[in-house]
Structure 1
Amino acid sequence: VKKSIAPKVTFLKMTTSHPTAYRSFGEQTTEYTNRSNDTVSKQSVNSPVAWYETDLAAKTNTWRYALSAEEVEEIRRAVSSITTSGIALTDVSRDNFVLPALSNKVQSWRDELMSGIGVKYVTGLTVDSFTRTETEIAFWGIGHHMGIPGAENPDRELLGHGKGYG
């Protein structure tokens, strides 16, 4: 019997609609399908997103980022502020998940994802040092600094929790 190494994924489900906090699945779908995709280009892609694995391996400093201890502490303070205030995950936003020093950096990651090579690997936020709820708040809050998050599927699930099994 082969052992699967596929990650197990569970989801956090949204129970109410908060149109300013995130997009519904329908809004997400519309956002992606309204993009121009009438034709398939037969020309080579001359863009930073056209890369080979060897290109990335040679330039890890361009797509990898290690959070500093100060940045992790800033995230921890933002999470603590949310939990202390009793704010529900679905009400977390860029306005109340305050990242005074890290916000501009997170926005630069978004710019790199949208206009650069399309990959960003961030390390340093150890989920073992947070409860499950705190982890959800941390990633949801950081996501709001990158853009407008959206539901993952028609069941309105907001966050997927993946865990690899080897």
Structure 2
Amino acid sequence: MTETKTRPARVACAPGEKVIDPAQWTGAELKQSQDWIHHLTDDEIADLDAAIHGVEAAGLDIMDISRDSFPLPVFGPALARIRERLLNGLGLTLIRGFPIKNYNRAQCAAAFFGIGSYLGRAVSQNARGHVLGHVKAVTDADYNDVANAGVRGYQTKVNQRFHADSCDIVGLMCLQTPKFGGTSSVV
């Protein structure tokens, strides 16, 4: 990785030494920059739309979606830059402007999974082998249920504490603004 005007190149360090890394940032620093936000262009949205309808016309299952079956000749190069930023740069990005209201849930899932195919390889996120889950309260479980009964926190109304998932890249797509809660934080 090369040094940029605002971020130093990644340098290996030992425990107790100062971290020098492009992913060394604070939420306050990110508020001062829009560099980590990608606003979809009309052409990129049209590209996604064509890929979504191609998957639908082919009758593909979510697990059959790949870069080959979800071609993005316009948006693909931007996703390559986003992937580089995720793996070797800031370590996060926000993609804005996907017209959720134009699509049903299955089409949104296809778009999300298709975009993900350009960023990495999907891996299971739970003991059931699911590679795509919905962050939605489907139970009235409280914090004790989550801690003791194995209820997944993202399926409850319980506020999730800061945590790190056990994969290289995590993605979220907001389908609907909740009546309350549901805030994601970058700290």
- The answer to whether TM tops 0.5 is yes
- The equivalent residue for 2:27 is 53
Structure 1 gaps, min length 5: 1-39
Supply the AA of the counterpart residue of 1:97: F
- The equivalent residue for 2:91 is 118
> Runs of 4+ in structure 1 displaced over 4 angstroms?
none
Give a deviation string over 1:120-155, Cα, whole Å, max 9, x none.
011011222110000000000110011111111121
Q: Indicate the structure with greater helix content.
A: 1
Tell me which of the two structures has the higher relative contact order, counting C-alpha pairs closer than 8 angstroms and 6 or more residues apart: 1
2:44 maps to 1:44: no
Percentage identity across aligned positions? 26
CA distance in 2, matches of 1:45, 1:160: 34
Q: Indicate the structure with greater strand content.
A: 1
Instruction: Tell me the CA shift for residue 55 of structure 1.
Output: 1.4
- The equivalent residue for 2:119 is 146
Instruction: Tell me the CA shift for residue 59 of structure 1.
Output: 1.4
CA distance in 2, matches of 1:158, 1:82: 18
Give a deviation string over 1:72-127, Cα, whole Å, max 9, x none.
11101001001001111111111110001111110110100111111101101122
Question: Structure 1 length normalisation: TM-score?
Answer: 0.72
- The equivalent residue for 2:81 is 108
Question: Structure 2 length normalisation: TM-score?
Answer: 0.64
Q: CA RMSD in A?
A: 1.7
Alignment match of 1:159 (pick from 124, 132, 147): 132
